[in-house]
Amino acid sequence: MYLNHEQVQESLPDYIAGSLKGETAAAVESHLAACADCTAEYALLQEMIAIEVPDPGDLFWQSLPKKVTASSSSSRPWWQSLNTFLFRPLPAFAAAGVIALLAFVGFGGFGLLPSGPPPQQTAQQNETAPSVASNEREQKPISPQIAEMAQALDATDSDATLLAEADDGIVTVDQPALASLSDDDFDELLQDLKKADLTGGDA
Amino acid sequence: MHFCHNEQMTDDISLIQQYLAGEEAAAEELIKRYQRQMYAFFYRMVRDMEDAKDLTQKTFMKAIGGLKGFRGDASFKTWIYQIALNTGLNHLKESRRETVDIDDVVIARQEGILNGLIDQERRQRIRESLHRLPERQRTAVMLRAYDGLSCEEAAQIMGCTEGAVKAHYHLGVKKLRGYMEECGYVSQS
């Protein structure tokens, strides 16, 4: 490869920087060995580059990147700052922990946590289970006699109720209304119940 | 002649993308890569350490703050040199003052020997000669000789053709040699 005088002069900065390779570098070297003008220019450039620049010190080099990013982050849009916050390792782990905890509680502890009420409540619930079951049973049509009696009793809302089944159906009769019946009316009601065999055999 | 900076360029672009995705550490890495080059560039331009430090910081603030506008047509290196050149030239226009190389005086006193003083004076003369050059020639010489940038990169930074960079550089070096010879200095080969 051949380089003329001008090409060599143009290439000197690259030659000094070491960015010329192979044949090109060899061509520059062979020209320098023969050309005093280019050698003088090469020497001046080397001298220029060798002039040291005073070092501002490690503190400057270490603090500059942080100073710049801190000042630019204050002027960044909020969503980018949020990204920075969320994608820092610590908040990411913390967020993952919170999400896992919420999922654990939300899905009933994956079967590890007791899903029902405490044991005492469960026992109590077992005792009342039949009545609840009977309450939940489908209400079947009651006999016309019982319906008439219920109307006659003019039942009102009351906490205390008497349950009586009629043809496997349920009818509620207010206890105070029952108490206000006269003896004759009560006997009549009792007989009707006996006829329908709804007293459970007690009467 | 082949100048391959593709690897570095891809790496820089990857850091820029990471920063734009919210990772501040990527910007810090980018600054660490170029902070010494930038500082040296400014020191040679303004010949004052404090000014060079301030200008380096200002340049990175502009660059990092404007990364959203970085299109990736040129490398990050040439982009940041463009910002640095504009920042430095504006500073020189604003200040327009003669600077004294305090560091050189201190070093000369410390050396205290004739050879040291001669060398020191020679270095001083080279710097002064460089600053006597017209702005475009000085920039071409600085970018090519000091910063080791290719003609293509220097052309992108200066916003001109490669041919113009070669011409500015050639004239600049020729004048430098002329100034040195005027003062009685010959090349130390």
- The token duo for A107 is 């899905």
- Residue B1 pLDDT greater than 50, yes or no: no
ipTM: 0.79
Q: What is the pLDDT of residue A24?
A: 93
Q: Which of A86-100, A152-166, B169-183 has the highest mean pLDDT?
A: B169-183
Residue of chain B minimizing CA distance to A60: B53
- Residue A109 pLDDT greater than 80, yes or no: no
Q: What is the pLDDT of residue A158?
A: 43
Of A11, A24, A47, the CB nearest to B126: A47
Across chain B, mean pLDDT equals: 85
For every residue of B47-92, DSSP letters joined together read --HHHHHHHHHHHHHHHHHTGGG--SSS-HHHHHHHHHHHHHHHHH
Contacts with B162 (C-beta within 8 Å, 6 or more apart), sequence order: B151, B152, B154, B155
- Residue A84 to residue B187, Cβ atoms within 8 A: no
- The class that CATH gives domain B114-189 is mainly alpha
- Residue A13 to residue B148, Cβ atoms within 8 A: yes
Is A3:A25 a contact under the CB 8 Å cutoff?
no
A171, B54, B83, B88, B102 from A163: Cα distances, Å: 6, 94, 93, 99, 109
A177 pLDDT band (50/70/90 cuts)? low
- Residue B31 to residue A69, Cβ atoms within 8 A: yes
Does residue B65 sit at the A interface (CB-CB below 8 Å)?
yes
- Residue A76 pLDDT greater than 80, yes or no: no
Of A9, A14, A75, the CB nearest to B170: A9
Could you give the residue ranges of the DSSP H alpha helices within A36-182? 36-50, 58-74, 78-86, 89-106, 119-136, 144-153, 175-179
User: What is the mean predicted confidence (pLDDT) over A84-98?
Assistant: 61
Question: Domain B1-99 belongs to what topology?
Answer: Rna Polymerase Sigma Factor; Chain: A (1.10.1740)
Residue of chain B minimizing CA distance to A1: B1
pTM above 0.95, yes or no: no
Extents of the domains making up chain B: 1-99, 114-189
Tell me the shortest Cα–Cα distance from B128 to chain A, in angstroms: 11
Q: Which residue has the higher pLDDT, B97 or B67?
A: B67
- Residue B64 to residue A67, Cβ atoms within 8 A: no
Q: What is the pLDDT of residue B42?
A: 96
Under DSSP, is residue A13 helix (H, G, I), strand (E, B) or coil? helix
Residues of A in contact with B64 (CB under 8 A): 68-69, 72
Does residue B146 sit at the A interface (CB-CB below 8 Å)?
yes
